Amino acid sequence: MHAIEKLLAKKAGKRSVKTGEIINCEIDMAGINDLYLQTLRSFFEMGGTKVHDPSKVIMFLDHYAPASTITQATNQKQFREFCWDQGIDLLMDIDQGVCHQVLADKGLAYPGEIVVITDSHTTTHGAFGAFGTGVGATDLAIILATGKLWFRVPEIIKINFEGKLPKGVYAKDAILHAIGTLGADYAVYKAVEFGGSMLEHLSISERMALCNMSTEMGAKASYIQPDAITMAFLEEKVTRAYEIYHTDEDFVYADEVTFDVSNLKPQLAAPSSVDNVFDVSQFIGRHIDQAYLGSCTGGRADDIGIAAHILQGRKVAPRTRFVIVPASKGVLLEAMEKGYVKTLIEAGATFVTPGCAACLGTHEGMIASGETCITTTNRNFPGRMGDTKAEIFLGSPAAVAAAALMGEIVDPTLYM
Amino acid sequence: MQKLLSGNAFVFGKNVDTDQIYPGRFVEFTDVEDVAKYAMFGADPEFTCKVKKGDFIVAGTNFGCGSSREHAAITLKAVGIGAIIAESFARIFYRNAINLGIPLIVCPNISKLIQTGDRLSLDLHSGEIRLEKSLIATAEPMSEYVLNILESGGIKPLIKQQLATGNRA
C-alpha cells in the first residue's frame, strides 16, 4: 500500500483500503473559513446541536480580514458566536492570516493527519506528510456533526522533479511547468505524490508552494514523504505525537511522470487558465499595473525575502503598484525582524494585513478593466482579482518582485 | 427523485471554474435568494434571465474547478438546473452538487454532441441522453452511494436521520 492508503485505512479503522473504495474516516482537524456561513446553516439544518469534538475544529477569519462590508462583518460575528457557544477554542480571528499558513505556524500540520478545510488549497498539508483536502460547506458540516467524512480512496500519481533548480528559479516555476505540461485536469480526483532529487534542496516553504498548487491540476490531496527537512521543521513546531507512514516497495502508481528541472527557465501562467504556461521570455516587456505578492501559495517570509533582496535600495517602477500580503501574523513578524518590511516599504511597496486579500477577488488589491497584474497567487481565472477584462499572470516571487521593480515583465534571474 | 429529466441545454467549454459559476465578490451573500442572482455570472451575465427550471448545463472537462465555495452549487440549484452533464467534474464541486441533490452526469465528448438550445432528455439510472427522441450518448452510471444521496434529496436528510438514530458510522 501507499503511505496515503495506510493513513486513510488507519483513520477508517480498517487494515487496508483499495482504490475506488468509499470509506468513512475520522477527521483530525476540520477548518472553516469565513466565506462559508453555509457550514453553520447546514449543521443546524441536519439537526446538529453540539459539535462532535470542538477540540478538532478550527475557525479561520482569513478571507475577509478585516471585514470590508457590513455583510462580511455580520458573517464573521456569527462565526465568533458559534465558536463561543460551541466551546471551539481554535478561533483564528482577523489578526492571524491564511488558514494553511496558520496551521503550519502553530504546529497543527503534521504527518499522518487528516485535515479537511473549506478551502480548495488544503492540499498544502501534503508538505508535512498529512492528508489535506478541501471540501464545501455541507461536507464540513457533516464533520461538525459526526466527526467523520466519507472519501473515495484515490488513485495515486507520482510526479518526480529531478535536478537542482537554477538560481532565480523556484518551486513555483517547477509546478507551473508541470501543470502547463500535464493540464489543469490531469489529477482530478487523484492524489499526487511529489518526489525526485529537487526536493532535497527544497525548504518547507517551497514544498508548501508545490503541494498547494497541486490543487490547480485537480488533485484531491498531495504528499511528500517526510525526510530530514520535514523533521527539522516538525521538531521546531509540533508538540503532539504523530505517525509517519511509508509506501511499500511494490506499490504501483496509477501514473508516474518525471521532469528535469536543472535547466528550467522562470515560468508564467498567462491569462486566463493555470495550465496556459510559458517561459517568461514570451512576455518580456509587457507592462504591469500591479505586482502582487501574497496568498497561501506565495506569501511566506522566504517569498517576501526574495522581493526584499531584489528591491533593496531600489524603487518600485513609477506606473506600477506593488501589493504585499504576508500569509500570516508569523510571516509578518519574521519579515519585520529580518528587515524585509522596511526595505520593501522604502522601495514603495504597499503592505496589507495578513490574510487572503485580493487573491480571491474580494478586497485589498482589486484590479480594473484593462489592467495587468503579475502575482504569486494560484489562479488567473477571468475576474479572479477584479474585473473580468483584467489580465493575470502567475509567477514566482522573484518574477513578481522583478516586474514591480521594472514595471514590466522581465527575466527575474537577471535581478538576483 | 425523478428518473427521467428533460430540459434545454446550455453548453459551456472546458475548465469552467467556480469564479465563472459564482464570482468571488458575491461570496459574502448567504441567503439563497441573493446567491441565485449570480448563477454563471462570470461566464455569461445574462444566464439567469435565460435559464428555466429543469434546464441542463453541458460542459467539457473539469467543470467546477477552483474554489471550494458551495455557492457555486447553491446558485445552480437555486435557478433550478435539472442536471449537469460534463466530460469530467472537479472533485469539490462534484461533492458539493451531489450533497445538495443536483444530478451530475459524466459523459465523454458530450460537449461536442450538443449545442445550446437543444432539447434533451436524460435517464438518470441508465445514463441515456436523448436529443429530441434519438439516443446520442450513454453516460457513465452513477455509484450506488451517490444515487442514494440524490434519491434522499441530498445529504442533509441522510445525516439528519443518522443523528436522530444515534448512528454515527
| C-alpha to C-alpha distance for A318 and A313, rounded to whole angstroms | 15
Count of domains for chain A: 2
Residue A356 is assigned to a ligand binding site? yes
What is the average pLDDT score of chain A?
97
Residue A275 lies in a domain: yes
In chain A, which residues have their Cβ closer than 8 Å to the Cβ of B90? 185, 188, 218
Q: With respect to residue A206, please indicate whether it lies within any of the assigned structural domains.
A: yes
- pLDDT for A351 beyond 90: yes
In a domain, A264, yes or no: no
Q: Cβ–Cβ of B70/A147 closer than 8 Å?
A: no
Does A25 belong to an annotated binding site?
A: no
Report the percent of chain A where pLDDT is more than 90.
Answer: 100
pLDDT digits (tens, 9 = 90+) for A109-134: 999 999 999 999 999 999 999 999 99
Q: Please, which residues bridge with residue A372 across strands? A: A391
B74/A75 touch (CB, cutoff 8 Å), yes or no: no
- Minimum CA–CA partner of A147 in chain B: B168
Residues A157 and A300 reside in one and the same domain = no
**pTM of the predicted model as reported, rounded to 2 decimal places:** 0.96
The answer on A247 and A105 residing in a single domain is yes
d(CA A315, CA B45): 40
Nearest beta carbon to residue A138 from set B29, B42, B155: B155
Q: What is the CB neighbour count within 10 angstroms for residue B132? A: 9
pLDDT level of residue B40 (50, 70, 90 thresholds): very high
Delimit the domains of chain B by residue range: 4-165
Judged against a pLDDT cut of 70, whether residue A81 lies above it is answered with yes
* Pair A332, A354 in one domain: yes
A192 shares a domain with A125: yes
Chain A residue nearest residue B72, CA to CA: A136
Do A177 and A302 have their domain in common? no
What is the average pLDDT score of chain B? 94
Shared domain check, A120 and A83? yes
Residue B167 has pLDDT above 60, yes or no: no
- By the CB < 8 Å criterion, does B19 face chain A? yes
Q: Is residue A368 part of a domain?
A: yes
Does A75 sit within 8 Å of B30, measured CB to CB? yes
Task: Assess whether A216 and A351 both reside in one domain.
Answer: no
Class of domain B4-165: alpha beta
Interface contact B126, partner A, CB < 8 A: no
pLDDT, one tens digit per residue, over A233-270 is 999 999 999 999 999 999 999 999 999 999 999 999 99
**Do residues A218 and A356 both lie within one domain?**
no
Note whether A163 and A261 are within 8 A (CB). yes
pLDDT tens column, A297-334: 999 999 999 999 999 999 999 999 999 999 999 999 99
- Of A86, A87, A64, the closest CA to residue A76 belongs to A64
In a domain, A21, yes or no: yes
Shortest alpha-carbon distance between residue B51 and chain A (Å): 22
Answer whether A293's CB lies under 8 Å from A322's CB. yes
Q: Note whether B67 contacts A: Cβ–Cβ < 8 A.
A: yes
B22-26 mean pLDDT: 93
Instruction: Give the domain-ending residue among A234, A258, A282.
Output: A258
Question: Predicted confidence band at B169 (pLDDT cuts at 50, 70, 90)?
Answer: very low
pLDDT of residue B142: 87
Q: Tell me the β-bridge partners of B122.
A: B5, B129
- Nearest-CA neighbor of B100 among A45, A188, A32? A45
Name chain A contacts of B14, Cβ cutoff 8 Å.
185
Which of A37, A47, A379 is the closest to B30 by Cβ? A37
A20 shares its domain with A87: yes
The separation between the first and the last C-alpha atoms of chain A, rounded to the nearest angstrom, is 43
The residue among A217, A232, A258 that closes a domain is A258
- Give me the CATH number covering residue A46: 3.30.499.10
Within 8 A of A387 by CB-CB distance, chain B residues are none
Same-domain check for residues A206 and A235 = yes
Whether residues A137 and A254 fall in one domain? yes
pLDDT tens across A279-300, in order? Answer: 999 999 999 999 999 999 999 9
* Residue A263 belongs to some domain of the structure: no
With a pLDDT cut of 70, the percent of chain A lying above it is 100
Instruction: Name A291's bridge partners.
Output: A322, A374
Is residue A237 located within the same domain as residue A313? no
Given A200, A233, A258, which residue is the final one in a domain? Answer: A258
Domain enclosing residue A383, as ranges: 269-415
A401 falls within a domain: yes
| Close Cβ partners of A173 (under 8 Å, ≥ 6 residues apart) | A165, A264, A265, A266, A267, A395, A396
What was the pLDDT predicted at A329?
A: 98
A22 inside domain:
yes
A71–B29 C-beta distance less than 8 A: yes
Give the per-residue SS3 of chain A. Answer: CCHHHHHHHHHCCCCCCCCCCEEEEECCEEEEECCCCHHHHHHHHCCCCCCCCHHHEEEECCCCCCCCCHHHHHHHHHHHHHHHHHCCCEEECCCCECHHHHHHHCCCCCCCCEEEECCHHHHHHHHHCCEEEECCHHHHHHHHHHCEEEEECCCEEEEEEECCCCCCCCHHHHHHHHHHHHCCCCCCCCEEEEECHHHHHCCHHHHHHHHHHHHHHCCCEEECCCCHHHHHHHHHHCCCCCCCCCCCCCCCCCEEEEEECCCCCCEEECCCCCCCEEEHHHHCCCECCEEEEEHHHHCCHHHHHHHHHHHCCCCCCCCCEEEEECCEHHHHHHHHHCCHHHHHHHHCCEECCCCCHHHHCCCCCCECCCCEEEECCCCCCCCCCECCCCEEEECCHHHHHHHHHHCECCCHHHHC
Nearest to A134 among B15, B68, B155 (CB): B68
